Amino acid sequence: MRDFSSASATGSTADVFAGLERAGAGAMASVFRGTYVRSGRTVAVKRVLPALSHNDHVRQMFDDECRVHSSLEHPKVVRYVTHGRDDDGAFLALEWVEGTSARAFVDPERKLTTGAAVAMALDVLDALDALHRGRAGRLARVAILHRDISPANVLVGVDGVARLADFGLARAMCFARSTPPGTTAGKLGYLPPEVLAGRMHSTRGDLYALGVVLWEVLAGERLMGHINDHASRAAAFVIEPRRSLTAVRPTVSSAIASVIDRALVLDPAQRFASAVEMAEAFRSAVSRDEWSRGRDHLALAARGDHVRRARRRSSARSVH
Ligand SMILES: Nc1ncnc2c1ncn2[C@@H]1O[C@H](COP(=O)(O)OP(=O)(O)O)[C@@H](O)[C@H]1O
Ligand SMILES: [Mg+2]
């Protein structure tokens, strides 16, 4: 049971956290690993980058993220611990996920087996199903769109379980509105075509973005990483046919490839209608053998990357 009284931890940084070490960074925030003094647990502490900490819009977004994340509780969503303010400003503390992010697998040397990719997909779909139906929260039943599904926002634990992270752009569905073309928030390579064209993000948009993530962890490369401005990205949908997953990696079965193809159809009406429908399609596309070994493969892949990064950190320490 979460201790709601801890939802506004304040004080000097040293009173709240111990042993903070920088662990990662995104476009707007830094993430540190440390111990939450009150519970003795290892946490990820997220803070707005110092260069942006005086930007009111960014501060408002971070407050929204803390509010949304603090209302969530689901086994496939990174667990909220507390949020508040200390000497270093506002922070959001989350349970530390020992493992890696799916970004590690977008690499020809480390791409996932089909079974591992399906295990990961089913975890994220489990989280999305609950979010989209307003069942991922402890409080009111508010349906939520994530709007920023990308490999870096899917954390894979050494236990072989994937968890959805980063609710920095998440919105209650009732507040979702369209944004003018060219101004959309979110990572360009994962934005659905309708959002790029200025239409509203939807549950099908989150499923599309997951389709891109799965294409990438199976191919071991970016799908559209080379296109980095809005206009060419939007045009690319019209001009170029999407690269076929089976052409890049012929050992992926046509059944799995066609589930991913359906998630990536340009017309949202032709995509999966819900996370549950997409999960069912994956379950029936995977062989019994792939199915039984998928979770173990995912755990092995996360452990492999975890160990590699730990070694890199310790050799960096011994050099300095
Ligand atoms: N709970 C966590 N456990 C372990 N690593 C984390 C955790 N939260 C974030 N990270 C790491 O920090 C990175 C950035 O975190 P994220 O919340 O996505 O920030 P941003 O909003 O800046 O993208 C993640 O991709 C991941 O590598
Ligand atoms: Mg992120």
Q: Topology of 99-300 in CATH? A: Transferase(Phosphotransferase); domain 1 (1.10.510)
**pLDDT given at position 178:** 53
DSSP letters, 166-227, are --TT-EEGGG-----TT---S-GGG--HHHHTT----HHHHHHHHHHHHHHHHHTS-SSTT-
Token pair for 61: 């977004």
Bridge partners of 145?
Answer: 171
Tens digit of pLDDT for each residue in 9-64?
677 888 899 999 999 888 889 999 999 999 999 999 999 998 998 999 999 999 99
**pLDDT given at position 254:** 95
**pLDDT given at position 129:** 98
Residue 290's pLDDT band (cuts 50, 70, 90)? confident
Q: For the sheet with 89-95, list strands across it.
A: 9-11, 80-86, 89-95, 41-48, 29-36, 17-25
pLDDT at 189 over 60: yes
Cβ neighbours for 84, distance < 8 A, ≥ 6 positions apart: 7, 8, 9, 10, 16, 90, 91
120 CB near ligand 1 (under 6 Å): no
Side chain identity at 147, as an amino acid letter?
A: R
Is residue 132 within 8 Å of residue 66, measured between CB atoms? Answer: no
**pLDDT given at position 1:** 38
Of the two residues 319 and 83, the one the predictor is more confident about is: 83
**pLDDT given at position 130:** 97
**pLDDT given at position 320:** 59
Q: What is the mean pLDDT of residues 224-228?
A: 73
Mutate to test the pocket of ligand 1, among 22, 46, 159 (most ligand atoms within 8 A of CB): 46
- Other beta carbons within 10 Å of 64: 17
By the CB criterion, residues less than 5 angstroms from ion ligand 2 are 26, 152-153, 166
Q: What is the share, in percent, of the chain residues with pLDDT greater than 70?
A: 88
What is the whole-number distance in angstroms between the Cα of residue 130 and the centre of ligand 2?
20
Among 96, 87, 114, 121, CA closest to 42: 96
Q: What is the mean pLDDT of residues 165-183?
A: 72
Domain range annotation of the chain: 9-95, 99-300
Radius of gyration of the chain (CA): 19
Give buried/exposed letters for 19-39 (b at 16+ CB in 10 A, else e): ebeebeebebbebbbbbbeee
Q: What is the mean pLDDT of residues 264-279?
A: 96
Mutate to test the pocket of ligand 1, among 83, 166, 306, 309 (most ligand atoms within 8 A of CB): 166
**pLDDT given at position 185:** 66
What is the whole-number distance in angstroms between the Cα of residue 153 and the centre of ligand 1?
7
Calpha distance 160→292 (Å, rounded): 13
Calpha distance 191→12 (Å, rounded): 39
Token pair for 109: 């040397």
Of 3.40.50.1220, 1.10.287.3510, 3.30.200.20, 3.40.190.150, which CATH number belongs to 9-95?
A: 3.30.200.20
Residue 251's pLDDT band (cuts 50, 70, 90)? very high
Residue 241's pLDDT band (cuts 50, 70, 90)? low
Bridge partners of 92?
Answer: 46, 83
Report how far apart, in Å, the C-alpha atoms of 25 and of each of 21, 28, 147, 300 are. 12, 8, 19, 24
Which span out of 169-183, 224-238, 301-315 was modeled with the highest average pLDDT? Answer: 301-315
pLDDT at 243 over 80: yes
pLDDT at 91 over 50: yes
Q: CA geometry: angle at 104 spanning 43 and 294, to 5°?
A: 95
The pTM score is 0.92
Calpha distance 13→55 (Å, rounded): 22
pLDDT at 142 over 50: yes
Least distant ligand from the CA of 190? 2
Number of C-alpha atoms within 13 angstroms, CB side, residue 277? Answer: 12
- Other beta carbons within 10 Å of 89: 14
Nearest-atom index, ligand 1, CA of 46: 17
Calpha distance 139→153 (Å, rounded): 24
Calpha distance 66→88 (Å, rounded): 16
Tens digit of pLDDT for each residue in 257-270?
999 999 999 999 99
The mean pLDDT of the chain is 89
- Residue whose CA lies nearest to ligand 1 atom number 4: 97
Calpha distance 283→241 (Å, rounded): 27
64-73, 120-129, 311-320 — which is least confidently predicted? 311-320
